[in-house]
């Protein structure tokens, strides 16, 4: 099993005819992703890598059953494109787009919740089930099949942790990039819940970073409900208060969101917290 996606998930690519959308479509197909259709307004009736292109998500759903849409669209149309997918009845939306305006993020997060859809992102690298499929831009050669779930607020750290695990003979069940913007479509707790119920996943690696309160909330969930061991790593321990550190979500304000606060919360919940990335495989081997 896996969470959110597998080799049978029927995928729509919005922005499929753009340079990034076209390139990533080929990469996703190579990894077994079941892409059934694409969308670019004004390009309906064409094809990309044998995939039919439609003008709207709604038109695509009239021809194909679609479980998930992945978006490679400009930030200025991200809001409208997400709404279009949700209104077409698509229940999982993965927004790869960076620099989405924060007010648009707030709107689409609320809209997805209202309509019962799950929004991953924005600024997410996507989701991968090694050996089955990938959604987004995750480099498949850095992952391998196994039974450790990874949930990460940092895309590049997700790659590095997975590669370290693979080099130590530890594969992954599913890897989910949360996206690092100030407003995230979903949160760590929601994904932890899915891993908690997944028979394939035997342990979870949580990669957090300074800013916000997601890790503290995750610690509370782990302490009360998590049935599987969790290993964590918190990036940005040296980030000064009040200064953004690369990601829009990585900011410490009002005494909240510091690495110490997150680490203390996780430790109190019984989570093993790695000080260095190369400690993670060692801890996984101890707790599994």
- Counting Cα atoms < 13 Å in the Cβ hemisphere of 51 gives 30
Q: Where are the chain's structural domains?
A: 10-120, 139-287
DSSP state of 100: -
Residue 128 burial (CB count, 10 A): 31
Please give the residue that has the higher pLDDT: either 166 or 258.
166
Residue of 63, 99, 103, 247 marked active site: 247
**Residue written as token pair 């003008």:** 55
10-120 CATH? 3.40.50.720
Superfamily for the 139-287 domain: Succinyl-CoA synthetase domains (3.40.50.261)
First to last CA, the chain: 18
pLDDT at 238: 60
Does residue 31 register a pLDDT over 60? yes
Rounded CA separation 116/103 (Å): 20
What average pLDDT score do residues 41-69 get?
Answer: 98
Rounded to whole angstroms, what are the CA distances from 112 to 31, 85, 117, 154? 28, 10, 5, 22
Burial of 67 (0-12, 13-18, 19+ CB in 10 A): middle
247 counts as catalytic: yes
**Mapping DSSP to helix (H, G, I), strand (E, B) and coil, where does residue 37 land?**
strand
Task: Report pLDDT digits (tens) over 216-233.
Answer: 999 999 999 999 999 999
Predicted local confidence at residue 12, as pLDDT: 99
Region 250-255 average pLDDT: 51
């Amino acid at each position: 099993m896996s969470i959110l996606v597998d080799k049978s998930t029927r995928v729509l690519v919005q922005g499929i005819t753009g340079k990034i959308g076209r390139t990533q479509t080929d990469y996703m197909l190579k990894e077994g992703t079941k892409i059934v259709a694409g969308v670019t307004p004004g390009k309906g009736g064409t094809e990309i890598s044998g995939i039919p292109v439609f003008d709207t998500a709604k038109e695509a759903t009239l021809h194909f059953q679609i479980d998930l849409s992945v978006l490679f669209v400009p930030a200025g149309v991200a809001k409208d494109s997400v709404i279009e997918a949700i209104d077409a009845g698509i229940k999982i939306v993965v927004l790869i787009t960076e620099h989405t305006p924060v007010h648009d993020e707030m709107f689409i997060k609320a809209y997805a919740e209202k309509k019962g859809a799950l929004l991953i992102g924005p600024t997410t690298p996507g989701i991968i089930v090694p050996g089955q499929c990938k959604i987004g831009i995750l480099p498949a050669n850095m992952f391998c099949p196994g039974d450790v779930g990874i949930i990460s607020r940092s895309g590049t750290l997700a790659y590095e942790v997975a590669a370290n695990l693979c080099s130590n003979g530890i594969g992954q069940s599913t890897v989910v990039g949360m996206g690092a913007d100030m407003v995230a479509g979903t949160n760590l707790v929601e994904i932890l819940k899915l891993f908690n119920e997944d028979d394939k996943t035997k342990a979870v690696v949580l990669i957090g970073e300074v800013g916000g309160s997601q890790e503290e909330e995750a610690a509370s969930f782990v302490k009360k409900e998590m049935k599987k061991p969790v290993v964590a790593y918190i990036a940005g321990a040296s980030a000064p208060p009040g200064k953004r550190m690369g990601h829009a979500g990585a900011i410490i304000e009002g005494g909240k969101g510091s690495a110490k606060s997150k680490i203390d919360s996780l430790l109190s919940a019984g989570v093993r917290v790695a000080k260095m990335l190369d400690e993670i495989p060692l801890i996984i081997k101890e707790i599994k």
